Structure 1
């Protein structure tokens, strides 16, 4: 259900980004309104709808919803769902190696910084 909500809300945001506010409002009323009955979605819905109040939504307090990171998070969730449905691991071996090497690098950097500060 969360992924469904995220995908619908992403479409809503793309309509706003394209300055199709009337279409976004109609889409929101038709597709997002049912989620308003579920308390965990209410705050997000308010944020999405608030974007309509701004002539330049990218300058609104909810600008983060228009950021590429939000779109990427939804895409990542969709990819994980597809992989889970296909009984495949959520992350490839290469992704796991990169994640592990990043953690090791961060740890080593902290140790170097700590050793440097102790001197």
Structure 2
């Protein structure tokens, strides 16, 4: 049974951001990874924050705009995760995160595509 007001996508984005934060703690402390960690944590957490803002949108245009921003942030997150996977192949825990980022990107893209046509 789904709780009243429960939003599975919001929960999924939250869990994803937490998983990214935890995974970044295991990355090397080299200068290039500090940059990647900073960008990755910002974009992963921003995605969920923008999605949350979309849930209180004051208009369809506002909703579409917030979803569009969330999509951009997830695209960036997916990019940074791909960099980690490509440069540190021994970091297998990143593969499920890469898959999840791709799936979330597709979901947000679908929502954005449907809502941006209504504007």
TM-score, normalised relative to structure 2: 0.32
Structure 1 or 2, whichever has the larger Rg, is 1
Specify which structure has the bigger relative contact order, considering alpha-carbon pairs within 8 angstroms and separated by 6 or more residues. 2
Larger % of helix: which? 1
TM-score, normalised relative to structure 1: 0.32
